[in-house]
Structure 1
């Protein structure tokens, strides 16, 4: 009871401090007792000392000792190198791709070298020297080119005769030769000959239609060039081949008709008169040429005018058909 009463009396004298600062509270409590001469009371003295010890120990326990501080510093020092190692690992991990890149960059030139070596291995194509042709070889080559340009007719253009039709019909089975069949044709009756002549005319008309169709399958300019090539082949191969019929002129009804020379017009007129009947052509030509030379200029003029008019027409048609101008309108 005494203690409780003393505490109540001293409560008003104690300063209002924070309850957390217990050491200061104990000291203030002790001083207040000393001022009131309460030190003689052993119980209160003991309580004050007890309070001082307990709060002193708690305060001392909260503050770290020097040994603890050293331990904490050592732990921190030990942890710092570990962090450095991890960063070093990270940096090394980042640097590894750079090494790969450098390796890939180094590998690229090797590929280029391989391509260069492969290109070097391919041997350069040697240019063949042009063969120098002899005059004979040049002539043969020119003839081949002319034959190619001359166009080959795919069927025969000869006129069919009754004898040919009869011979082909009799010798068809192979029992009779062509020679024997031709001889037998002389012994057949006139009615049979008339029959085979009729068949021959039909075959001739069929061949002409096919020939015309083949000619029209080519342009007029192609036929013109083919005729020029055929004319050149006739000159080059004359006396060197058995027949020049394969190089005969191709008849094209689309070609413009040439104008006749005044003398030729006069000659055609004189032959049509009948004055040179039963006279050889060569002899008739000699007589007609003498007559032409004896004509006066006024007598020749009608033939010359006709020829000039025909030449102008030919030049116009030539340009329309072939698309080029003719070198000479006169024949």
Structure 2
């Protein structure tokens, strides 16, 4: 039905346009009577308007030209979106194929070179000297002769040859009067007391543990370094006194008995050894029990004063 209406309306429109152009009407008649009008039903006008039959040829051409562009832009947009999808897929593939980092090779271990024994010894001596506490207070001369030398030190220092200068100084000392020598002896005795007080004050600036460590360092230095042979242990009454053996107790007792007064050291020592060997087991046991008790005392003192334990060698008699 709509196709019939459409074709009829189009035909009438064409007829009307042709009549407008080809009708030979004079100018005067156009002025007096207007052109013949064509009446189109309302229903036809609505159909023509909605179906774009009323558009001119220029309008129809513009619409026709606009349609391909929209299609082209739509197609281009669709084409542009496709590579994005490909990129996302490529990223996924790359993530799946990611390689694990290669493990680092372990660095080769350095081989320590053996240290030269002399260098090692020097380093040990250096460390021991730090612990040995060699900064003792200077001692004043404790002998009358040394006091006299100290007073005349300028005379010795100015001498070109020290040997003759010392001999001359000794001759001068021997020629001194008894009162002058007594005065030098008194000064030497005072120096001895001053030295003891200064030494004790210096020792007490350190703890018993530090003094014990210093003595151990000195003992080691005396063994490995000839230059430190005369570096003796520090005397400290706070340190635990070592325990005595059974034989040492017997020897001490015999020396203090006074029976060997006037005898030489060698003869006295030989007599004491023979007496020890002649003792019965019961007699020796008394000294051995005393030595065991003294050993326990020493171990307790080590623990309380120095806070350490030492396995003391327990000889039965430690006798010759």
Matched, 1:265 2:249: yes
* Local SS of the residue matching 1:300: helix
C-alpha distance in 1, partners of 2:243/2:45?
146
Contact conserved, 1:263 with 1:303, CA < 8 A, in 2? yes
Q: Counterpart in 1 of 2:200?
A: 208
Conserved? CA contact 1:319–1:326, under 8 Å: no
Deviations 1:114-169 (A, max 9, x none): xx9xx99xxx9876543346xxx447635743663463323247864345566456
Normalised to the residue count of structure 2, the TM-score between the two structures is 0.57
**Cα deviation, residue 74, structure 1:** 2.6
Could you state the TM-score of these two structures normalised by the residue count of structure 1? Answer: 0.56
Bigger relative contact order (CA 8 A; separation at least 6): 2
Query: Is the CA contact (8 Å cut-off) linking 1:161 and 1:201 kept in structure 2?
Result: no
Contact 1:166 1:196 in 2 (8 A): no
Return the alpha-carbon distance in structure 2 between the equivalents of residues 252 and 193 of structure 1: 27
Q: Where does structure 1 lack aligned partners over 5 or more consecutive residues?
A: 1-49, 105-115
Q: For 1:130 and 1:299, locate their aligned partners in 2 and report how far apart those are by CA, in whole Å.
A: 60
Partner of 1:244 in structure 2?
229
String of CA shifts for 1:231-257, please: whole Å, max 9, x gaps.
Answer: 4554455xxx366112x3344444332
SS at match of 2:39: helix
Tell me how far apart the structure 2 counterparts of residues 71 and 91 of structure 1 sit (CA, whole Å): 31
2:39 counterpart residue number: 56
Out of 270, 278, 289, the position equivalent to 1:305 is: 289
Q: Does 1:195 align with 2:187?
A: yes
Give the paired residue count.
259
- Seen in structure 2, the aligned counterparts of structure 1 residues 57 and 293 have a Cα distance that, compared at 3 Å, is closer
- Counterparts of 1:292 and 1:202 in 2: how far apart (Å)? 43
Deviating more after overlay: 304-313 vs 157-166: 157-166
Partner residue in 2 for 1:78: 65
Structure 2: runs of 5+ lacking an equivalent = 1-32, 92-101
Match of 1:327 among 303, 306, 312: 312
The Cα RMSD (Å) is 5.0
What is the CA–CA distance in structure 2 between the aligned matches of 1:244 and 1:144, rounded to whole Å? 18
| Equivalent position of 1:141 in the other structure | 120
Could you report, residue by residue, the CA deviation over 1:161-210 in whole angstroms, capped at 9, with x for unpaired residues?
34556645653799656985874666454224423531342133212321
Deviation, 1:88, is 6.4
Q: Could you tell me which residue of structure 1 aligns to residue 258 of structure 2?
A: 274
Residues 264/219 of structure 1: CA separation in 2 closer, same or farther (3 Å cut): closer
The 8 Å contact of residues 136 and 202 in structure 2, kept in 1 or not, is answered as: no
Rate the CA distance shift 1:278–1:99 in 2: closer, same or farther, 3 A: farther
Partner of residue 112, structure 2: 130
Supply the distance in 2 between the matched residues of 1:78 and 1:172 (Cα, whole angstroms).
130
Change (3 A) 1:217 1:83: farther
CA change 1:298–1:314 in 2 (3 A) is same
Question: Could you tell me how far apart the structure 2 residues matched to 1:268 and 1:159 are?
Answer: 32
Is residue 2:134 matched to residue 1:154? yes
Q: Secondary structure of the residue that 2:239 maps to in structure 1?
A: coil
The structure with the larger Rg is 1
Residues 315 and 325, structure 1, Cα contact 8 Å, conserved in 2: yes
Displacement of 1:91: 6.7
Separation in 2, partners of 1:96, 1:67: 45
CA shift in 2, pair 1:210/1:217, >3 Å:
farther
Post-superposition shift, 1:61?
Answer: 8.6
